[in-house]
A and B are shown apart, each in its own frame.
Chain A
């Protein structure tokens, strides 16, 4: 089925470890996004890429980096994981404003 694919689904890291969350979409969407979801806080935007070759910070970018590898793929990297980064991470894509987003199934990350 067409959509947004995220890997891995679950991950446990030790403080200070690094990892990359992968995201790929096959809908030929221009824009891609990374959100984190925490209890009582809804979805907060980490980084986004309005189009291939561009990336911009969102609401909570500290501690993260991103790469828009090509039109399909948008990865999120944690260079030195901290317990405060324990969260559920969602990748999304869209074809521009007013078209809504398609979300991946999420990555549940725990940093101990």
Chain B
């Protein structure tokens, strides 16, 4: 969806290093979802953010929603090979109760 821009498109990180993925909306965000996908598999739900300024963490993954900037970031601390995959953001947009998705960010973790 052109309404959700993810950056970077792909990244390679050394194991143990941190990484950040951004998701920016052209419209107001009512709900922002992060999913992870491994090659050949379906999408796994990571977390959902709804309130401006909200921040959630699960294990080494932290997501924040900056409502004013219409942006969310996903941060992985001390990356591991298990963090490799495609990360997609999805959002509830105004007047639309269907999720729109960004193009995804491919993460490669090198040992």
Contact = CB atoms under 8 A, between A and B. Distances in A.
A42 B98 contact: no
Given A42-B1, A105-B41, A98 B31 contact: yes
Contacts of B98: 33, 45, 48, 58
A33 B42 CA distance: 14
B1 A44 contact: yes
Nearest to B6: A42
A97 interface: yes
Nearest to A88: B40
A65 interface: no
Given A97-B31, A98-B31, A101-B90, A42 B41 contact: no
Contacts of B43: 90, 92, 101, 103
A38 to B, nearest CB: 10
Interface stretch (B62-70, B74-82, B101-109): B101-109
Contacts of A45: 98, 100
A20 B48 CA distance: 32
Nearest to B97: A97
B11 interface: no
Contacts of A106: 40-42
Interface in A12-58: 33, 35, 40-45, 48, 50, 58
Contacts of B6: 42
A59 B103 CA distance: 15
23 contacts: A4-B42, A33-B98, A33-B99, A40-B9, A42-B6, A42-B88, A42-B102, A42-B104, A43-B88, A43-B90, A44-B1, A59-B1, A90-B42, A92-B43, A97-B31, A97-B92, A97-B97, A98-B48, A98-B92, A100-B45, A101-B43, A101-B90, A105-B41
* Nearest 5 CB-CB pairings of A with B: A42-B103, A43-B101, A105-B42, A103-B43, A97-B97
